Amino acid sequence: DVKVTQSSRYLVKRTGEKVFLECVQDMDHENMFWYRQDPGLGLRLIYFSYDVKMKEKGDIPEGYSVSREKKERFSLILESASTNQTSMYLCASSSPAQSANTEAFFGQGTRLTVV
């Protein structure tokens, strides 16, 4: 059974803290993504990565950074958490189109509250 695993389901952090959200996939996928989900706004792409040590900004990268040191792991970092970063964060992975299945697989999400 394929899996994308996010390290925490719920997190509460204080304003100004540095926050790490971890994501691991076991499907040997090249692509990994971080989205945030807010009511009425859908899923918005924060960052994505095509390969180890590669990263590309998505639509809303401000206030975030990422790290991909190993193929299976993609970390999202909030350098200095703010209350407007309170949200549901979703990690996903996929294979490029050369393979048969281009489906994006999602983790269960991390609900982050910044107080």
Partner 1 sequence: QQQVKQSPQSLIVQKGGISIINCAYENTAFDYFPWYQQFPGKGPALLIAIRPDVSEKKEGRFTISFNKSAKQFSLHIMDSQPGDSATYFCAASIFGNQFYFGTGTSLTVIP
Residue labelled with tokens 């790490």: 20
Shortest distance in whole angstroms from residue 44 CB to partner 1: 8
Residues that bind partner 1 (CB under 8 A): 4, 31, 33, 35, 40-45, 48, 50, 90, 92, 94-97, 99, 102-109
Rounded distance between C-alpha atoms, residue 107 and residue 89, angstroms: 9
- Closer CB to partner 1, residue 44 or residue 71? 44
Rounded distance between C-alpha atoms, residue 102 and residue 17, angstroms: 36
Burial 42-59 (b: 16+ CB within 10 A, else e): eeebbbbbeeeeebeebe
Shortest distance in whole angstroms from residue 109 CB to partner 1: 5
- Closer CB to partner 1, residue 56 or residue 79? 56
- Closer CB to partner 1, residue 18 or residue 50? 50
